[in-house]
Amino acid sequence: MTLLEWIFIFLLLGFLLTSVLVLLARNLLVIITSIGLGSVILSIIFFLFGAPFAGAFELSVGAGLISILFIIANSVTDSAVDEVD
Domain range for 52 is 39-73
Confirm whether 47 is domain-assigned.
yes
pLDDT band at 19 (very low <50, low <70, confident <90, very high): very high
- For the entire predicted model, the pTM comes to 0.80
Q: So what's the pLDDT on residue 83?
A: 60
The pLDDT tens digits for 28-75 are: 888 888 998 999 999 999 999 999 999 999 988 887 888 888 888 878
State the CB neighbour count (10 A cutoff) for residue 45: 19
Whether 58 is covered by a domain: the verdict is yes
In-domain check, residue 55: yes
- What residues contact 60, with CB distance under 8 A and at least 6 apart? none
pLDDT score at 29? 83
- Identify the pLDDT of residue 62: 83
Looking at the domain assignment, is residue 34 inside a domain?
Answer: no
- Integer Cα distance of 76 and 38 in angstroms: 24
pLDDT at 85 over 70: no
Instruction: Write the single-letter amino acid at 79.
Output: S
Q: Which of 75, 60, 74 is nearest to 31 (CA)?
A: 74
Burial class (CB in 10 A: 0-12, 13-18, 19+), 27: exposed
